[in-house]
Structure formats: structure tokens, C-alpha cells
Structure 1
Amino acid sequence: MTEERLDRLEGMMSQLITMVGNLHNSMSDMQKDMKEMKNVQKEHGQKFESIELRIDKMETKNELRHHEVLKHLKRLEKDQDFIWEKAARN
């Protein structure tokens, strides 16, 4: 091979090596970004689960309070009926 041809091949090889190196760096950066995104997603998932648990607890408490209020209203209704009966008898 001629000297000129060898120089051209050498230039193409160095260009190819540079391109592969740049590609490798880009892939490494993308992998880091993906890991960061996965960590953020995991954190959001954990926060979401904790919010869901709190909402479930609140719903349970609200159910209990609702039943207590209904019981109290029924008691008041019975008391009112009793008072009306007594008033009607008098």
C-alpha cells in the first residue's frame, strides 16, 4: 500500500475510534439518566403508596364516624318520638 493510502486508513480508523468513543459516552450518560429516572420513579411510587394508605385510613375513619352519626341521629329520632307520644297523651 502506498503511504498516502495508509495515512487515509489511519485517519479513518482514528475517526471511527473517536465516533465509537463519543457513542459510548452518550450511552453512558443515557444510562445514568435512566438510573436517575428509575430512582425518581421509585420514590414517587413509594410516596403514592403512602398517600394511598393514608386515604384508606381516612376512608375507614370517615365510615366509622358516619355510622356513629347515624346511630346518634336514630337515638335522637327515638327520643323525639317518645317526647311527642308523651305530649300527645297529656
Structure 2
Amino acid sequence: MTREPRTQSVKGTYELHFPDRFYGHYIWYVPFEATGPTPDAPSTKTQHTRAMTDREKARHCGWPGREPAGARPPQPGARQGVGPARAAGRSTATA
């Protein structure tokens, strides 16, 4: 994720005044374009995504057929996704 300032662009013409003739002219007009941060604007956040590699899938998702690092097989008779107190029928709420 990257954070960047919100930007604004401006186009116009610079009018340059020379005290002496410069290539036959005192005044020159030059095209100009500038980009810069917008004052008092929040920054923008950009998320860059890509497909996961096979190694990342195996490490984080247990794909294909591999358990994620640190995972243990379920114990016989244990209910999935339930803590030990609830599995035994006890309430974990306190008054």
C-alpha cells in the first residue's frame, strides 16, 4: 500500500520580460505545465495487488493439500472453531 499526496496540474504561458533584446524581442511567451500537491488535501492510498505465488499459497492458505505453518490436526471428538470451555458445555460469560 502506498500513500501519495493528492496532486493538481496547471497549464499556462510564462511571460518573460528582458531588459535588453533577446533574439530580437524584449518579451517572450513560453508554454508551461506544472504538477504539485494540492494544499490542505488528504493523501490518497493506493493498494497494489497481484496473484499469490504457489509458495505463498502453500505457506498461508494450506494449498495444495498442505497445512499452514503451525497448524495441528483436530483432536478426536473436538468441535471445530469452539474453545475448550464451550466444547465442554461451560459458559465463558462473566457477570
Q: Which has the higher contact order (CA 8 A, sep 6+)?
A: 2
After TM superposition, the score normalised by the length of structure 1 is 0.21
TM-score, normalized by length of structure 2? 0.20
Which is higher, the Rg of structure 1 or of structure 2? 1
Q: Which has the higher strand share?
A: 2
Choose between structure 1 and 2: higher helix proportion: 1
